[in-house]
Amino acid sequence: MKLLFDIFPIVLFFLVFKLAEGQPDAAAAFATEHFGMLVAGSVISAKLAPVLLATLVVIVATFVQIGWLMARRKKIETMLWVSLGLVTVLGGATIWFQNETFIKWKPSVLYWVMGTAFWLSQALWRKNLLQALMGGQLELPPAVWRNLNFMWIGFFAFMGLLNLYVAYSFSTDTWVNFKLFGGVGLMLLFTLAQGLYMSRHVKAEDE
């Protein structure tokens, strides 16, 4: 359920983009009529209407996520606040300037912020964020926690670069597909690989 909650804005971005992409002229007319005041020039082109509408929806969806957690008095993770800030600023710039480049940078910046947080906590404060999150569920040797931490740092760095490579080397449609299927798929595979790595050391410790 948490995975579905986390990727909820990404799924909405994908669905709205694909729907608008299939009817670009109608999407442009709708976007200009209802959201023209949000863009410079007040007119939204058919070429950019799909990504602008999808960006607007993902901003609203992220606010809804936080509002839902607040209403249920649930803890709001720091990275969700960071994601909200990034999608509001970069998404807002994409909408106002009618430039999809800003929103394409958002995943990379978020990956790098997370990677930096993992690195700084270890380097400056000798605190392993991964262990802090999962230490209550698993008992692993300090060296294993350290290796896992650096693996996540490397993964976040790689994903940030890969996102920009796809964004600048392929069409926006390809980038949107990668954002949902490629990004989420690679995250699941990496998490599975980490789970297998941890299971070996948990078993060794138990023995």
Structure confidence at residue 1 (pLDDT)? 63
Residues 105 and 195 in one domain: yes
Residue ending a domain, among 44, 71, 97, is 97
Residues 142 and 181 in one domain: yes
Residues 113 and 57 in one domain: no
Domain of 203? 100-207
Residues 120 and 163 in one domain: yes
Structure confidence at residue 137 (pLDDT)? 66
Structure confidence at residue 17 (pLDDT)? 97
Structure confidence at residue 130 (pLDDT)? 77
Structure confidence at residue 207 (pLDDT)? 44
Structure confidence at residue 205 (pLDDT)? 44
Residues 80 and 113 in one domain: no
Residues 138 and 207 in one domain: yes
Residues 106 and 205 in one domain: yes
Residue ending a domain, among 80, 97, 114, is 97
How many domains does the chain fold into? 2
Structure confidence at residue 12 (pLDDT)? 95
What is the rounded distance in angstroms from the CA atom of residue 134 to the CA atom of residue 154? 19
Residues 86 and 162 in one domain: no
Residues 109 and 90 in one domain: no
Residue ending a domain, among 74, 97, 120, is 97
Residues 116 and 41 in one domain: no
Residues 17 and 60 in one domain: yes
Structure confidence at residue 163 (pLDDT)? 97
Q: pTM for the full model?
A: 0.87
Q: Smallest Cα–Cα separation from 102: which of 111, 92, 112, 114?
A: 92
- Max intra-chain CA distance, the chain: 68
Structure confidence at residue 204 (pLDDT)? 45
Residues 51 and 71 in one domain: yes
pLDDT string in tens for the chain (207-residue length): 677 788 899 999 999 999 999 999 999 999 999 999 999 888 999 999 999 999 999 999 999 999 999 999 998 888 899 999 999 999 999 999 999 999 999 999 999 999 999 899 887 877 777 777 765 567 778 788 888 889 999 999 999 999 999 999 999 999 999 999 999 999 999 999 988 888 777 644 444
Q: Which amino acid is at 91?
A: G
